[in-house]
Amino acid sequence: MNNSPDNRELLWGDLHNHCGISYGYGSLENALERAAAHLDFCAVTGHAMWPDMYERNNETAFTVDFHIRGFEKLKQNWEEVRNTVAKANGTSLVTFQSYEMHSRRYGDHHVISPDDRLPLIYRDSPGELVKDLGCEAMAVPHHIGYTPGYRGINWDAYDPALTPLIEVCSKHGCAMRETAPYPYYHDMGPRDSRNTVFEGLAKGFRFGFLGSTDHHAGYPGSYGDGKTAVWADGKSRHAVWQALKARRCYAVTGDRIQCLFSVNGNPMGSFVPQNGNRKIYFKVKGAYFLDKIIVYKNLFPLSILNGETLPNRGGKGCYKLRIEMGWGNNDDYYRWEGSLKVDNGRLRDLEPCFRGRSILAPTSSTTVDEATINGMDNRILRAEEDGAEWQCFTVRNVSTLYPQTCALIAEIEGDEKTTVTLTINGITATHTLGELLLRGYSRHLKPWTSQAFKVHTAVFETAYTVETEINDPEGDNGDFYHLEVSQQNGSWAFVSPVYFVRD
């Protein structure tokens, strides 16, 4: 599913991440280089202002001081930052200008603009900021789920004309609803059910969904922290921007779950003045065993498909094979070199799941080497029908619940007799897809606390691809429909709604 029925391209990016241009770590040049290795578009965001920041005292001194230093650093270098982002924009990577406003009253927002003349100006609210920029831009609320008045979103001040998109997931967690996966566990506090996406939609607001990393160490798109997918008319700044403005976008937490979603032929993000029968179409192509696909109408499940009903019996067709590398106890970068060879079949796609070192924001105890924090040159070196080669770098897992592994997901066309030969750091193994359909395997590189790689059980296309249409004869203006998809490895997709608006 590389193209939608109207020949739009599915592109992947991160529109909210940080590096050392303000407070954060790593150079802007390295951040853009990392983005170009595995993303289609990105915005590297500078921290710019906090109009209602706390007063400085003994308790707040560290927080206030590092913010002020970061804001001043961006101000002093804004022209250079803006020029570097502009020069990086091209056919390999689409870039946008961006900076961020903190606010206790309104919640945090980041500005995104396709205009390389974006001025760095200071205002007391995101609404005033966007109105006074003098160029095309939008403000995006992020980590909206924090407590009202504690940098969570303020629905009473929300204006969808200025902020038509909301970041629904990032490293902070997922704010879709009270029972959403990925609760908030940052030191900024817990997820508040009053500040979820479902609450905003229930209040009558209409917006699209984005996912971003909010990564603070110069690694846009770091796997597992959130990404945005857009259905665009091409890989250009104009085409991506038009897709964002039309809300033809959705959020994923990890794997690049491909989603088509429309109602009566109107794609995700559409505003439609229409009553009567609704034909709801979706096509989902995951990267692992599907767990659940839910179509919501007005925030209530209209249709639920359970992944347990999808067979994984194999045959002639396509298979997904995940190759994951990491583990060990190393704090320094561990280098992986891998290759994959396919016989009696062909490699159709290779999805990178590359991570940067996990840092969310500075703390008084943070000690990192800023020059090398994002120095991991993760990239696919070759990907052709007969196989692929790659390199990546990993460090030890932060905890048993937060991995630092890297992975690739190969889509292989063949049958149970197709053979896959993997060579990873000098260890070679050959298996048929039929064997891998029954079970995967892991290998260690040394006797104790060892780095290791894991070849996951192969998934046949019947277990990761679904295409269907359902009817809703009870349609009325004011209805809205959205799609949520989960996989059995914990990856989710949250697809922007189709809205039936009142005249």
Q: What is the pLDDT of residue 298?
A: 97
Query: Based on the number of CB atoms within 10 Å of its own CB, is 381 exposed (0-12), middle (13-18) or buried (19 or more)?
Result: exposed
Domains of the chain, start order? 9-175+189-198+217-245 (3.20.20.140), 317-459 (2.60.40)
pLDDT for residue 475: 83
The encoded tokens of residue 5 equal 């029925």
DSSP characters over 314-360: --SEEEEEEEEEEESS-SS-EEEEEEEEEESSEEEEEEEE-------
Is residue 334 within 8 Å of 451, Cβ to Cβ? yes
pLDDT at 30: 94
Of 269, 225, 24, 54, give the one whose Cα is nearest residue 150. Answer: 54
Its sign, for the CA torsion 253, 257, 262, 263, is negative
Ramachandran quadrant class, 327 (left: phi over 0; alpha: psi -120 to 50; beta: rest): left
CA distances (Å), origin 486, targets 7, 99, 333, 490: 26, 31, 31, 7
Q: For residue range 394-421, what is the model confidence (pLDDT) as tens digits?
A: 999 988 888 999 999 999 999 999 999 9
Give backbone dihedrals phi and psi of 465, rounded to 5 degrees, phi first.
-130, 130
* 479: CB partners within 8 A, 6+ apart: 278, 297, 298, 499, 500
Q: Contact at 8 Å (CB) between 44 and 17?
A: yes
Contacts of 312 (CB under 8 A, 6+ apart): 289, 437, 459, 460, 462, 463
pLDDT of residue 72: 98
Q: Which residues of the chain have pLDDT under 50?
A: none
Please give the pLDDT value at position 5.
57
**pLDDT of the residue at 359:** 76
Residues forming a β-bridge with 250: 229, 495
pLDDT at residue 307 in the model: 96
Cβ neighbours around 243 below 10 Å, total: 25
Whole-number pLDDT of residue 411: 98
Tens of pLDDT, residue by residue over 268-299, are 999 998 777 899 999 999 999 999 999 999 99
50 by Cβ neighbours in 10 Å (0-12 / 13-18 / 19+) ranks as buried
- pLDDT at residue 366, rounded to an integer: 59
Partners of residue 271 on adjacent β-strands: 499
Is the pTM higher than 0.85? The answer reads yes
Contacts of 54 (CB under 8 A, 6+ apart): 60, 63, 64
- Residue with tokens 């940080």, as numbered in its chain: 18
Which amino acid, 333?
Y
Cα separation values, 161 from 131, 207, 425, Å: 11, 9, 52
What does the block give as tokens for 38? 């595995």
Which tokens is 253 given?
């937490």
Bridge partners, 323 (sequence order):
408, 455
